[in-house]
Structure 1
Amino acid sequence: MTYDSLDSFLKSGQTALSKGPVALIFAEDDAEVESTLHHHLSLGFQSVVAFMPAEFDLSEELSARVHRVTFNCAPRSVVFDALNLVIKAAPSVWMYYCYNAEYLFYPFCETRSIGEMLAFHTEERRSAMLCHVVDIYADDLAKFPTGVAPDHAMLDSTGYYAQARHDASGRPLERQLDMSGGLRWRFEDHIPYERRRIDRIALFKTQADLLIQPDHTFNQPEYNTYSCPWHHNLTAAICSFRAAKALKSNAGSTFDIPSFRWSHSVSFEWNSHQLLDLGLIEPGQWF
């Protein structure tokens, strides 16, 4: 199904939002749009909605399986505006959002659907899930100058850290952390301060008055926590070429970065087991 605008989708696309989990994928450019859609379809989302410019190509097979909404992701604030409109239109539905060339992984996702995982998470009285945006990048920028190469992808095996998040008065916020690492940490001189964090609450259950903010947090504090008070909960990862794309497309950084590889780069294996072993996702009580 194709909609010529966000307004059209909100008016006539209620079928796509009636039952979760729903994946909302925003195409900032044409890099790996189809692989992103295929990946999330394979996880078992009830609906996958692709927000993308009209001029982007999409195969017939994918066109028949996704809801396509004509949409331009610039400036970046319009994505958050769109998310808030969708949240308002579909209360009490599990949703997920990401950008093109980003891929969701959660513990044991090879054998368990996104619906099964979120049903368990709901039973744990959780309405949101912390995701770490794990930068992946091409192993050879001479061959892949955009930084995007799914078949030759690498990630950092170390260099991730957390800092306590504070409120406006400087007091630590309960169970909230600012996460750092990956390309945004190693090349922080080229990354605006407010975009260096790698934590994102990308999986959440909509409710009345819920709003997502431009820093990827929500207006309800409990949604921004990494776990409940009594034990550890599931976390997920979004393996993302987004930082690599930005660093290599920006004239202010591309010539300063001949390679993304360093001594702690390892090949990305495209499975949850590797991410579990590296401590980048948490199984909690999910067995």
Structure 2
Amino acid sequence: MFGNWLKTSLLMAGIVALFGVIGSLLGGVQGMLLALAFGGAMNVFAYWNSDKMVLRMYNAREVDEASSPYLFNMVRELAGRAGLPMPRVYIIDEAQPNAFATGRNPENAAVAATTGILQMLSQRELRGVMAHELAHVQHRDILISTISATMAGAISALANFAVFFGGRDSEGRPANPLAGILVALLAPLAASLIQMAISRSREFEADRGGAEISGDPLALADALTKIDAYARGIPMEAAEAHPETAQMMIMNPLSGSGLAGLFSTHPATAERVARLRQMSR
């Protein structure tokens, strides 16, 4: 638990520092101070509201035992096995098979699954996926992924703002157009690298923890194999519109490949499956 709080603190500090660098490039000392204040305020806002924002981005609808007994009862059984409070349960109307967990702590957690994953996976495979998401809750790293998604989006927006509304000279032209362009290109990349450094190790740990919660490592291995085979060919519009949230999913929902794969927040599926199969032996 202490390790994840340390990661969260480092993440927040890194993001605020990035805000400061952008502000300094755009407006000197005054710009840096304003950006640092904005970054600090965004961190506080993200801590309390980022889970609601992400669920709203995906138009997730909350379900209960009456409206979705299959999923709700599965999550309740697994939460009991993990010794966790019952999280809120959401369904996302997307054909791509995927799922994620969010919230600032286990007492305020939520798990979400797409309609695609509910239709595609067997009960055993879906149980493995939901156990993986509850492992994220159990490890208390859902705050890290949710805050990093929100802050990365804010940095991208600030970087784009910098291109059009950066410092101006007496004639109304950008005082440093090259700096604005570099900020627009490099700031989102830096935010993505921060996300990537944290997210890849989290996925391996959640795979291991999910296998322990469900008691069936091969169920998650089979689910990951099936999701990987289908997810790439089925676009998810909400994820494409908000790529900073991709690292929250059990599988990368973005359609990009090639160079984009170098900056993927998810480890290779084959390696994840191999580790799970090793656990089963």
Instruction: State the TM-score, normalizing by the size of structure 1.
Output: 0.29
More helix by share: 2
Q: Determine which structure has greater relative contact order: mean sequence separation of CA pairs < 8 Å that are 6+ residues apart, divided by chain length.
A: 1
Instruction: State the TM-score, normalizing by the size of structure 2.
Output: 0.29
Larger-Rg structure: 2
More strand by share: 1
